[in-house]
Structure 1
C-alpha cells in the first residue's frame, strides 16, 4: 500500500473481519455531497456502473497512510444534536456552498467512535477518516463540516481528544416535539436494542414507547447540556432557525455576506426530503401529544431543556 491512490474514493463502511478492522471504499469522483445524509449519497453512488463493477477494500491503517500521502482538510466544525431538531437543515444550508464539504452522519465515524480500539489507534484512525472525507476532490473546497449521529454526543470527549481546536455546537428542540416525532417514526436510537450500547441507556425498565422515548430524549438533552457547560459548546435552539444563519451561526461557520445569502437557497425545502416544501409542524406535534407523553416528557426531559435555554448565547 506504499503507493496508495484513493483520489475520488471515500470510506463508506468499517467492520471487523477475523479481529481486523477493514474499510470499504466507494468512488465518488468529484461529485459534491448535497444529499441530506451521507448514506443517501452512498446509495446514489453505488448505483453508478463503475461502483457496481469495481470496489476497493483496505485494512484500517490505509486511512493513516492516505492521510500522510494526501492530507485532506481538517474539520472546521462539528454538529451534535438531539435529533429531529433542525441539524439537518443547518447541514443542508451549508451544503449549498461550493467550498464546503458537508458530511452528515457517516456510519464509519460512528463505528470508530464506538469501537473497542485502543485510544491512540482510534485517534489515528479518526484523523485518517476525516482526512479522507476532507479530500479536495474538486479543488475549491475550503471547509469540512461534520454532522454526527444524535447518540454520538456521548463520544464528544473522544472526538475532542483528537480535534481539540475544532468548534462544535449542539442543536436541540422542545422535548415534547422531539418525542412526538419519534413516536410517529422512530429513529434507530429510539428502538430498544437496535444500535447497541450508547450514552442514552439508563438500564431502567419501561412500559411503553411513551415512557421509553422521553427518557432517551432527556438523556440526549442532559448530555448535551453537560458538554456545553464543560467544553464551551454553542447551544442552538430549533426556534432560532433558520434566521440564526444570518447571525451567530454565520459567525460560527465563518460565512461571508455572499455565503449568508446563498445558504438560504435550501430553506424552502424539507431538509430530509428536498423534493418537498418544508412546513412547520411544532403546533401539530404538541396537539398530538397524549397526557401520558406530556407527563413523561415533563419528568425526564423538560429540566435539561430549560437549562439549555438558559445558557448564555
Structure 2
C-alpha cells in the first residue's frame, strides 16, 4: 500500500493536469473518489482509506525544480538539512484576501495539499528560478502600520490582470534569512529575495503586473530590499501618530514586540518603557528609516489623510500606471469597503481614535513622532492637496 501511494504521489506531482483535477476539491470525500479513480486508471490500486488526508502532511521528497505555475511558496521550513521552501497548490484561485497568509491557510485546508507536497532546497530555489512566468513588480508599499496600507493593497488588487501580495510570510522569512545569515549576505541574499518575489508573483492567470505590500518593519531593511529591486518604485504610507498608537493599544501588532523581529533592529533605549512609549519609539524607527530612504530614487511619501484619492492622483503615476475608466471604477468600488473586511462598508474612525487617546498615548506621540511626522508631511506635500478629492471616503486598515 505504501509503495502504491508513493507511486501515485509521484505520478500526480509530474502531471499538472492531474493536479488540477484533484487540487480543486474542497470536500475530502470528493477528493478521495477522484484520487482513487485516477490511481485505478494508472494501474495503482489504493485501499479505500489510503487517501484520507492526514492532519499534517509531510513533504514526499525534495525537488531541485520549481513546481508548475499553479503552486506558490507558503513558508520556509527550518530543517536539519537546511532551509526548505515549502509550496502549496493554489490552482488559479485569485489572491483576494486582505493578507496573503489568509489565502495560505485556506489553501492548506484542501485535501490535495495534505497529501501532495513540493519542497525545494533553498539553493535550488535560487539557482533554478525561471526567467519567466512571473508578473513584473510595478510597485512596493512600505508603511508605518495601521495607516491605509491594506486599503492600498486591496485597491491595487482590484485592477484586472494584477497580483497584489499583502505581507506575504515567505517573503518576510526570506528577508530574515538575508539579514541574519552570513551565507546569504550580499548578492546571494538579493538573489533569494528576487527568487521569492518571482515565486509569489507567478502569473497563474496571465497577470501582467504585481504589487507587494510589505510588513511595517521592512522599511528598516530598505537598503537590502532596494539593492535587490533597485528600479522598483515604492511608497511609504504614514498617519497621524495618535491614531496609529490608539490602534496599536487596542491590539498590538507583532512588529511592536522587539523579540519577534530580527535582533538589534530597533533602537529603543536601555530603559523599560511602557507600551505607549515602546510603540512610539518603534514607529519613530520606521519614520526615520523612511526619511533616509526617501533620499534614494523611486520613493514617495503618502499621508493616510489623502487616501483613497491619492492612489489615482499620486501612487498610480508614481508606479507608472495608466488607468482607464474601467480601472478607475474598479478602484472606486474597492475603496468603499473596509480593507480588513471588504464586504463591510467602511466607517471613518479617526475622530473616535483621537477621542479615545490616553494622556500616555498623546505624550508618547508628541515626544517621539511629532517632528518626524511633520517631516514626512512636508515630503508628502509634493503630491498636492488635490490628491484627496478624487474619491470621497477613506477606508480602514
TM-score tier by shorter-chain length is over 0.9
C-alpha displacement of 1:67 = 2.4
Q: Are residues 249 and 3 of structure 1, via their aligned partners in 2, closer, same or farther at CA, if it must alter by over 3 Å?
A: closer
Closer, same or farther in 2 for the Cα pair 1:35/1:3, shift >3 Å?
Answer: closer
Q: Which runs of 5+ in 1 are unaligned?
A: none
Give SS of 2:259's match.
coil
Do the aligned partners of 1:173 and 1:238 also contact (CA within 8 Å) in 2? yes
Q: How does 1:214-293 map to 2 (within 5 A)?
A: 214-253=280-319, 254-257=321-324, 258-293=326-361
Q: What SS does structure 2 have at the residue aligned with 1:280?
A: coil
Q: Is the 8 Å Cα contact of residues 14 and 111 (structure 1) preserved in structure 2?
A: yes
**Alpha-carbon distance in structure 2 between the residues aligned to 1:271 and 1:238:** 13
Q: Distance in 1 between matches of 2:353 and 2:66?
A: 51
TM-score (norm 2): 0.75
Larger Rg: 2
Of residues 244-253 and 41-50 in structure 1, the stretch that sits farther from structure 2 once superposed is: 244-253
Query: Larger deviation: 99-108 or 193-202?
Result: 193-202
* Counterpart in the other structure of 1:163: 229
User: How has the CA–CA distance of structure 1 residues 3 and 212 changed in structure 2, closer, same or farther, with 3 Å as cutoff?
Assistant: closer
Q: Which residue of 2 aligns with 1:6?
A: 68
2:150, 2:161 → 1: CA distance? 18
8 Å Cα contact 2:140-2:232 kept in structure 1: yes
Residue 133 of structure 1 aligns with which residue? 200
Question: Larger deviation: 12-21 or 91-100?
Answer: 12-21
- Please tell me whether the aligned partners of residues 142 and 236 of structure 2 are also in contact (alpha carbons under 8 angstroms): yes
Q: Distance in 1 between matches of 2:146 and 2:107?
A: 26
Q: Which has the higher contact order (CA 8 A, sep 6+)?
A: 1
Cα distance in structure 1, aligned partners of 2:297 and 2:264: 20
Q: How does 1:23-42 map to 2 (within 5 A)?
A: 23-42=85-104
Per-residue Cα deviation, 1:159-208 (whole angstroms, up to 9, x for no partner)? 11111111011011011111110000110012342334263342432331
Secondary structure, aligned partner of 2:112: helix
Q: Which is further off, 255-264 or 288-297? A: 255-264
Q: How many residues align?
A: 312
Contact 1:63 1:132 in 2 (8 A): no
Q: Secondary structure, in 3 states, of the residue corresponding to 2:270?
A: coil
Conservation of the 8 A alpha-carbon contact between 1:250 and 1:260 = no
- The worse-fitting range, judged by mean Cα deviation, of 66-75 and 25-34 is 66-75
Query: How far apart, in 1, do the equivalents of 2:65 and 2:367 lie?
Result: 57
Which string of whole-angstrom CA distances, capped at 9 and with x for unpartnered residues, describes residues 132-178 of structure 1? 12221112x11010111000001111111111111011011011111
Deviations 1:87-119 (A, max 9, x none): 110000111123110111111211222221222
Report the secondary structure of 1:229's partner residue.
Answer: coil
Partner deviation per Cα, 1:276-302 (whole Å, 9 max, x = no partner) = 221111111111111122111111111
Q: Indicate the residue corresponding to 2:241 in structure 1.
A: 175
